[in-house]
Amino acid sequence: MLFNAAAALYALLAVVDLGSAAPASVNHGDGTFFAPGLGACGYTNSSTQHIAAVSKEFFDSFGGGYTNPNDAPICGKTATIHYGDKTTQVEIVDRCGGCKGPTDVDMAPAAFADLADQSLGRIQITWTIN
């Protein structure tokens, strides 16, 4: 009887836990901008497109099983980036070898401009993979 009650409680907690699914993890890092070209994902993008490069650490740890970075699972994923009350959406197309921190994002100028004046150069962002 005691066991059944414990099992029932456990099952209930398991259901409650599933019901409150954890939100996608929120990353905090530096946002910068660069002049896009041919990126690690094999796409050629431009400054007016909403694209971004994530740090090499983030790019490499997102998923493996590929030899050609064009096949990296993060390629083509989208991210939502926040700065203050501003928001933008980008497609991940590149690996940022020069980013300082593992959660830094280097954006095309068009995406950065949605968030802040380019004269700021480097801003503190929060972001999630969609």
CA 50, 129, 31, 56 dihedral sign is negative
Nearer Cβ to ligand NAG, position 50 or 102? 50
The label of the residue with tokens 């050629």 reads 44
For 62, other C-beta atoms within 10 Å of its C-beta total 15
Q: Which of 23, 25, 34, 24 is nearest to 105 (CA)?
A: 34
Compute the least distance from the CB of residue 38 to ligand NAG, in Å: 9
Q: What is the closest distance, in whole angstroms, from the C-beta atom of residue 90 to ligand NAG in the complex?
A: 7
Q: Is 62 in the site for ligand NAG (CB under 6 A)?
A: no
Give the interface segment with ligand NAG, choosing from 2-10, 39-47, 59-67, 112-120 (CB under 6 A): 39-47
| Per CB under 6 A, 43 contacts ligand NAG | yes
- The site for ligand NAG, by CB under 6 A, has a size of 8
Tokens 């907690």 belong to residue: 13
In single-letter form, the type of residue at position 97 comes to: G
Paired sense of beta strands 86-96 and 105-107, if any: unpaired
- Candidate segments 8-16, 42-50, 61-69, 116-124, binder of ligand NAG by CB under 6 A: 42-50
Tell me which residues touch ligand NAG (CB under 6 A): 43-45, 49-51, 91, 93
